[in-house]
Amino acid sequence: MTVRGFFRAVKVESAKPPYDTIHLKVLYPAQISGSQQQLAQGILPADSDLAPFPIVIFFGGINCEPSMYHWLAVQLAQRGMVVVTYAWIGENLPGMVSLSPGVDIAMAKPATYGTGSTALALPALLAELESLQANGILAGMLNLQQIILGGHSAGGRMALENANPRFYPPVAAAFSYGAHSAAATMLGFPPNTILPLPSDVPMLLMGGTRDGVIAANRWIYGMSGADPTESIRRTFEEAIAGGRDDKYLLLLEGANHFSIAYPSDSTVGSSLQDLPATQPEDAIRSLLGDAVGLFIDAHVRHKRGASQALDELLSSHNPLVAFYVERK
């Protein structure tokens, strides 16, 4: 499978210059056409035999460059999906300029949470997908009714919070790594609060037993102790309703907060708080990629045998699986 990519830039109308532009990278399954001009330009046609393509929009963590998730984007594109990653430098809090998934703080407070989207970037991204469906390499090949939201850390939280058909009807599933829905006390929530999440689409929550970032920042949510997985477990147990047989919790033995980000960047962000991974990181990434791919195959693409393959991959016999459960 040949995977190619191209770039786009979109404006966010609600943001103020110079922090009002998002830069996208779009990866897609391609085919070698034999055209020398196309090969010279590096622009190949999409593999129409695999269309229409489901779409994964990936929200990165704060100060995490999109290139950290390139490996996952390529793996998903190899499975026949279009994957969108993006970079947005913004000033989400006064005086704090960062690479951000675009959190709408105003919609994350007690009086507003759950009443609207917390993802400032998502409307602009969806509008650009409509444009790509109309013109260009992917014209007519996108399945705009099968959009999967994925993310890491703060971006993973955004994926889970906004997988809500009331706000975004095309969203068909969501997955996250190193994310939870614990409420920050500085926003006005009581300590130890787990906020509810939408439960109308399939969800896969993932984390690592060596997540030093979650452990070190539990004070932000008024939580005691330093358990790296409690916030994720409680989110799965308390924030998401069951009854659909399509909610999963996967905790990876020896994985840390940045196991999904490769190569990681030690010069920015919260990497100084993380714990060392105790399992081979290439093996961790391999399991993560397979789990996400099979989850989407099973619950969005409805491929025969995908659910069984997912259960077999994540069985208790796998030494990288510390804990795995499906919500019935």
Domains and CATH numbers, the chain: 2-327 (3.40.50.1820)
- Averaged pLDDT for residues 209-230: 95
Q: Model-level pTM?
A: 0.96
For 121-168, write each residue's pLDDT tens digit: 999 999 999 999 999 999 999 999 999 999 999 999 999 999 999 999
Residue 43 pLDDT: 80
In the predicted model, is pLDDT for residue 179 greater than 90?
yes
In the predicted model, is pLDDT for residue 34 greater than 70?
no
40-44, 96-100, 302-306: which range is least confident on average? 40-44
For 183-211, write each residue's pLDDT tens digit: 999 999 999 999 999 999 999 999 999 99
HEC string of the chain equals: CEEEEEEEEEECCCCCCCCCEEEEEEEEEECCCCCHHHHHHCCCCECHHHCCEEEEEEECCCCCCHHHHHHHHHHHHHCCCEEEEEECEEEEECCEEEECCCECHHHHCCCCCCCCCCECCHHHHHHHHHHHHHCCCCCCCEEEEEEEEEEECHHHHHHHHCCCCCCCCCEEEEEEECCCCECCHHHCCCCCCECCCCCCCCEEEEEEEECHHHHHCHHHHCCCCCCCCHHHHHHHHHHCCCCCCCEEEEEEEEEECCCCCCCCCCCCCCHHHCCCCCCCHHHHHHHHHHHHHHHHHHHCCCCCCHHHHHHHHCCCCCCCEEEEEEEC
